[in-house]
A = this chain, B = another copy of it.
Amino acid sequence: MAAMKCLVLREVHGSLVLEERPDLQPGPGEVVVRLHAAALNRRDWWITQGMYPGIELPCVLGSDGAGIVTQCGDGVSDELAGQEVVLNPGLDWGDNPAVQDAQFTILGLPADGTFATEIVIDAAQVFPRPGHLDWNESAALPLGGVTAYRAVFAQGRLQAGERVLITGIGGGVATFALQFAVAAGAEVWVTSSSEEKIHRAGKLGARGGFLYTDDTWWKTMVQEAGAPQLIIDSAGGPGYRALLNAVDNGGRIVSYGATAGPPDRLDLFKLFWKQLHLIGSTMGSPTDFQEMLDLVNRHEIHPVIDGVFPLEDGDQAVRKMADSPQFGKYVLSID
């Protein structure tokens, strides 16, 4: 009996350690997927730092994966065997498109994730992978892609021709949001602390960008580009105030994170005089996931990959995320 290999986090602030375990067996309704690639998310880094709700260790981390179905459990059509798939990492969303149920979780904590040579998962979570992508690109797509899709479309309701600002470009979700918004016919602008990242965003279709390290960036944007109808942000913090200044009257600000913490003030006067919508978004429903795949297939979008590491170097790859140096995704290639 062959062994599967996986990267396990045994304790907070510990390392991801390679373990060998017995090969997995599918339960009823489940499949086993032989993984060819996984991808990293900032979530993985937060978990290693103990800064995530509901940490239960040991756990195989990893929310993103792509591979081939090798075994089908009872009640699963044998036609799935041999299919090349990506995994929807959102588990038990529930029936309400507006919000996930209380039992919603993400693959890779508490359920063992994709930093492994194989995984067992409910058959409803596997989707045909986009044919124009290689294994690394396929694995880069799921969690960042569905989070960006929900923020931009399901919650942000982006329309073609609108001006949209995506803050903190370079992060996985932000980069997908940029690509998706460009594909949808929006006029896209970005912010970053790095001229280099703004330059790279331009190559993906952004009209331009602004250094948020300059406190008056939002005035520059309004003067030079015009006020955005939609802002997609995951920083929050002290910089959130500038977003309320920048956004167009009647506009929307979608937050899918708060890496800089909660803002220390909410200017309700601006909220109601400008008739704004401040919208929260996280992950996505199965419908969001399918629509995201449809968009990626229709526009032949390729995820941006900043680095590929062998599975064995996963610990090192997660540590590299601490300062968010990347533009796009880090991928683990799995032999």
Query: Scoring A residues 237 to 276 as 1 if CB is less than 8 Å from chain B, else 0, what string do you get?
Result: 0001000000001100001111000111111111111111
- Select which of B96, B265, B275, B279 is within 8 A of A280 by beta carbon: B275
Q: Is A255's CB under 8 angstroms from B277's CB?
A: no
Give the oligomeric copy count. 2
Determine how close the nearest CB of chain B comes to the CB of A276; give it in whole angstroms: 5
**A272 nearest in chain B by CB position:** B280
Chain B residues within 8 Å of A273, by CB: 280, 282
Chain B residues with Cβ below 8 Å from A100 are: 249, 275
Contact of A269 among B98, B258, B266 (CB under 8 A): B258
CB contact under 8 A between A271 and B250, given known A262-B266, A265-B265, A280-B276: no
Of the listed residues A96, A98, A236, A263, the one surrounded by the most CB atoms of chain B closer than 10 A to its CB is A98
Residues of B within 8 A of A250 (CB): 96, 98-99
- Indicate if the CB atoms of B249 and A268 lie closer than 8 Å: no
Residue of B nearest to A253 (CB): B278
- Contacting pair A277 B275 (CB below 8 A): no
- The answer on a CB contact under 8 Å between B281 and A249 is no
Contact assessment for A99 and B272 in the assembled complex, using a CB-CB cutoff below 8 Å: no
A257 to B272, CA, bound (A): 7
17 further A-B contacts with Cβ under 8 Å, apart from A265-B265, A271-B278, are A96-B250, A98-B275, A100-B249, A240-B268, A255-B272, A257-B268, A258-B268, A258-B269, A262-B265, A264-B265, A266-B266, A272-B280, A275-B280, A275-B282, A276-B280, A277-B277, A277-B278
Give the 7 A-B CB pairs with smallest separation, nearest first: A99-B250, A98-B250, A271-B280, A272-B280, A258-B268, A266-B266, A278-B278
29 contacting pairs across A/B (C-beta < 8 A):
A96-B250, A98-B249, A98-B250, A99-B250, A99-B275, A100-B249, A236-B266, A236-B268, A255-B268, A255-B271, A255-B272, A258-B268, A258-B272, A262-B265, A262-B267, A262-B268, A263-B265, A263-B266, A264-B264, A265-B265, A266-B278, A268-B280, A272-B280, A273-B280, A273-B282, A275-B282, A276-B280, A277-B280, A278-B278
Q: Which residues of A contact B (CB under 8 A)?
A: 96, 98-100, 155, 236, 240, 249-250, 255-258, 262-282
